[in-house]
Amino acid sequence: MKQFVKHVLTGGLVLTLVMTPGAVFAHDGDDSDATTTNSEESSTSSEGIAQKRQEAVRKLQARLDQAKEKRTEKLDEAKSNLRERLSNAKKKICERHQSRINQIMNKMDDRRTKANERITQIYEAVTSFYSEKGLTVENYLDLIAAIDAAKNAAQSATKEQQDVPQLNCEGDGPEADVAEFKQKRLDSIDAMKAYRDSVKDLAKAVRTAAKATGTEGDA
């Protein structure tokens, strides 16, 4: 783990998230004796964290909604046109590709889950290093609040992507279901990038603090 943390801090948090869609979609993630003073400080700190988290959530949601709004308008229009059963000719074409498309959808779901787990692992490694070395980063609570907001958004977006039904050529609107999955995939990519970037910001700040105290090489 220490070698991993060192790699995280000295490497500048180089994350490669493979989020390229499949070709098939081209056409269609107590120390009680520290007593009263510590309790008051802890309470104030908790309130501060809560406020920072709320603000971080608001800012992040506004950022994600901006990109999502344009896609939603296009999707709603597309779904109204696509929400119909396939003709016999289209149905036969759909059935030939149904298994392959569902495999790709499943792989994208797994990819987003693994990306989330990897970023979380790095986040935990960085915060552990920060605590163990007794480092100080002036805006640490802001960075943590931003990460918490982005993590929740990424998890929510990933779940929404995974909740889209698999392609069913017998369904009432298979083309609309694929269109919806494509949008949810893009939403989850945006959210996962925000999560990745927020962890990267923390890692850079901790790395700078470690350099300043000469503890970077101790990782």
Write the pLDDT tens digit of every residue in 61-73.
777 777 777 676 6
Structure-model confidence comparison of residues 35 and 163, the more confident one: 163
Mean of the per-residue pLDDT values for the chain?
A: 76
Residue 12 lies in a domain: no
Tokens of 63: 């950022």
Task: Provide the whole-model pTM.
Answer: 0.68
Is the residue at 46 inside a domain?
no
The pLDDT confidence band at residue 121, using thresholds 50, 70 and 90, is very high
The rounded percent of the chain whose pLDDT value lies above 70 is 68
* Per-residue model confidence (pLDDT) at position 57: 73
Q: Is residue 102 part of a domain?
A: yes
The answer to whether residue 15 sits within a structural domain is no
Q: Letter for the amino acid at 183? A: Q
C-beta separation of 145 from 56 below 8 A: yes
Interhelix angle 174-213/88-132, rounded to 10 degrees, is 20
Structural domain contains residue 18: no
Model confidence at 187: pLDDT above 60: yes
Range of the domain at 85: 2-7+53-218
Q: Taking residues 154-171, report their average pLDDT.
A: 92
Residue 150 maps to a domain:
yes
pLDDT of residue 15: 29
Conformation bin of residue 13: beta by default, left when phi > 0, alpha when psi is -120 to 50: left
Q: How many domains does the chain have?
A: 1
Angle at 103 between CA 80 and CA 174, to 5 degrees: 20
At residue 23, the pLDDT reads 31
Structure tokens at 147: 């990460």
